[in-house]
Structure 1
Amino acid sequence: MEVATESPHGCGNSSDTEEDRDSDTDFGPSKLGTKEYWEATYQNELETFKDVGDVGEIWFGEESMTRVLRWMDKTTIPENSAILDIGTGNGAFLVELAKHGYKNLTGIDYSPASVELARNVLQAEDLTDVTVKEMDFLNCQGELKDFDVCIDKGTFDAISLNPENAKEGKKLYVQAVKDALKDRGFFAITSCNWTKAQLLNRFSEGFEFVQELPTPSFQFGGKTGSSVAALIFKRVL
């Protein structure tokens, strides 16, 4: 499956409807799946933040964060829950989680520039108790475990676009989420490259589907589809 249009933060905006995109077909390789691309992107955003205080682009927009926060409120996720932000980028979601009252927050990213940017953003908000680590989620060697909630906005998308080992990366990703979560812990994923059906298939083992979060829909060729999928899973043994 080709990604029709690449945005700076990894979304391929395809005109295919959900019916057309219900198989787990690999995308074509893209620079958006490389560490070099993200390091350069976040290095630029870091320099911009230091110059003018702009945190940069929020992947999927602010509504994507609000959508997950609303779900956390309705589910009454305790404020002391251990929460992991996978691929934290500029740390904007960590900021919103902290402002929402959550106190046990960890963000990881394999880009050193991302980690420095996130730390700068958090410091500017006087949020000094949030942990941000430079770490490759696919090779974390068991360091990440016992989280109550794991959140991903686009990291699985980027892994799926890796020119070298996307197939293996996707398998490693699923296992890494399993390892990071407590039994019955929640996994919230937002994707612009994979449909609900594809994500349900990918996370069919070791996870229980909980619900789909509402996202904007579009019409194409008389069919209704969604350009973004946001799903909640629960880790099960």
Structure 2
Amino acid sequence: MGGREDEFEPSALGTKEHWDATYEQELKIFKESGDAGEIWFGEESMARLIRWIEKQKIPLDSSVLDIGTGNGVLLVELAKSGYTNLTGIDYSLSAVQLSKNVIEKEGLPHVKLQVKDILNPSDELSDFQICIDKGTFDAISLNPENAAEKRKRYVKTLNRVLRPGGFFLITSCNWTREELCKEFSEGFLLLEELPTPTFCFGGRTGNTVTALVFQQKT
């Protein structure tokens, strides 16, 4: 695995307490105003993932797992695109309550939501064709307590919940393509890097966000 843990400052963003408090507030705002809250990495990041899935002509009934679903907006967009076998998990009860409210408002009863920690999943969480991560691996990387071990456990769990040959789509603002390839070398092959916004500073061009598609080795 990569050795980046010493380069990340431990942060509240890596703790369950932070996300519980964040989603409790967002749930309150949603009930008052109907605003689902922030979309991680913006709307274009969701469209980018959905375009890739559609381009592969992946059947609409394929099982999809949204890891760290937050407000559930990605699941809403997938459902609106015709996908019917959708599951979202989050270790924050407040996040799942918010996503349930958002999904009920959109009239999408077939979307499944569960309070689960991807690092400690139950046995029935398995056999997914596609797993999607927008920022959850980033948050795990910022955990104040043994982030490196948690990253290894994440990769091990991912190997278990995906079916052989399944796809893993990850969007990150903390990790480069090369670093993510190293982190997920255990059981995964890089298929494609998705285009993300670039910036230019001091004559050098770079990406603030990395989006990759891996396939589980069979």
TM-score, structure 1 normalization: 0.89
Q: Counterpart in 1 of 2:211?
A: 230
What is the Cα-based RMSD across aligned positions, in Å?
0.9
1:182 correspondence with 2:163 = yes
Give secondary structure in 1 for the equivalent of 2:37.
coil
Shift >3 Å, 4+ stretches: none
Q: CA contact under 8 A between 2:72 and 2:103: conserved in structure 1?
A: yes
Q: Counterpart in 2 of 1:16?
A: none
1:168 correspondence with 2:113 = no
Superposition deviation, residue 143 in structure 1? 2.9
- 99-108 or 198-207: which moved more? 198-207
Q: CA contact under 8 A between 2:127 and 2:162: conserved in structure 1?
A: yes
CA distance in 1, matches of 2:154, 2:201: 32
Q: Counterpart in 2 of 1:95?
A: 76
Alignment partner of 2:114 out of 108, 133, 139: 133
1:25 correspondence with 2:4 = yes
Q: Counterpart in 2 of 1:42?
A: 23
1:37-82, CA deviations, whole angstroms, 9 ceiling, x for partnerless residues?
A: 0000000000000001000000001000000011011111110000
List alignment gaps of at least 5 residues for structure 2.
none
CA distance in 2, matches of 1:89, 1:125: 16
Superposition deviation, residue 110 in structure 1? 0.3
Residue identity in the other structure for 1:175? K
Give secondary structure in 2 for the equivalent of 1:45.
helix
- 164-173 or 146-155: which moved more? 164-173
Q: CA contact under 8 A between 1:149 and 1:186: conserved in structure 2?
A: yes
CA distance in 2, matches of 1:61, 1:232: 18
Give secondary structure in 1 for the equivalent of 2:4.
coil
Shift of the 195–98 alpha-carbon distance from structure 1 to 2, 3 Å rule, reads: same
Give secondary structure in 2 for the equivalent of 1:96.
helix
1:108-147, CA deviations, whole angstroms, 9 ceiling, x for partnerless residues?
A: 0000000000000000000011100000110013331100
CA distance in 2, matches of 1:174, 1:232: 14
TM-score, structure 2 normalization: 0.97
